[in-house]
Structure 1
């Protein structure tokens, strides 16, 4: 059984959806990643028994994140999405 490595990866330019889907490809089938804040910096805590991500792999993840975010923004433009749209909530009347 190999030792588990745990390290912080700054999250600037990295989409959560992308890194969670690609981490096993880069670091092995047992790799997991979760959002994490270290000394006020947002990023990800990577836990894997395989090697750490290389600079080239991180750049690949950032490029995939840019592509993913662009695709999501185009998709949002096609669909009429209003995030802060009011939602009707029916309240029951209280009986005294």
Structure 2
């Protein structure tokens, strides 16, 4: 049984190289809007500990986001956007679950 793995790999590398050189339009570019976590927390008037506890975010994760050592992934960014827009509803949903 013959496979085309080698040919597929070479084709993928050619596409990646073309994209890197600005020649290809094959690759998709995904952008994630990263919310300002500190601004959200401060707008709610919460300490890091209180915010982390209220929204079930590990304190170390929250600190990493705020200090720029880490960035929220797409799911966390969406969750933070919900907290920013609907803070009480987000808390209520967590308490109900």
Q: Is the TM-score greater than 0.5?
A: no
Between structure 1 and structure 2, the one with the greater Rg is 2
Name the TM-score, length of structure 1 as normaliser. Answer: 0.29
Structure with more of its chain in strand, by fraction: 1
Higher helix content, 1 or 2: 2
TM-score, normalised via structure 2 length: 0.29
